[in-house]
Amino acid sequence: MSLIQNSGDLLNVIIAISVLLLTFFICWVLFYVAMSLYNVFKITKEAREGLKKAHEVLDFLKKRLKSTLSYVYLLEEIGQKMIELIGNYKENKKTSDSDKEKKGKSNSKKEKKK
């Protein structure tokens, strides 16, 4: 008793082998698709963690910059006041120097008349 007695039996064996090979390749493709999806999941998870860390760093920098900017604003105001004071001092000094020169000239004219 042989397995292959006519051409129909040979056809059935070839179909069975083909189905087995097709099943093997489908399983192989599904395995690689599953592994690829798992890698995409891992990459997405790492990217989310990275974005979360970047967001935390940006929030930290934002808080620091807010506190620093308040100090910068205070220093700017102090600088402007100092510049105004120095400008006023120079103007007062020029005014007092010119007054002294006028007094000096008027005194020298009085001395010359005598």
- Is residue 49 within 8 A of residue 40, CB to CB? The reply is no
Q: What is the DSSP string of 11-77?
A: HHHHHHHHHHHHHHHHHHHHHHHHHHHHHHHHHHHHHHHHHHHHHHHHHHHHHHHHHHHHHHHHHHH
64: which 2 tokens? 């620091």
- Residue 17 and residue 31: Cα distance in Å, rounded? 21
pLDDT in tens, 16-67: 999 999 999 999 999 999 999 999 999 999 999 999 999 999 998 888 877 7
pTM for the whole structure: 0.46
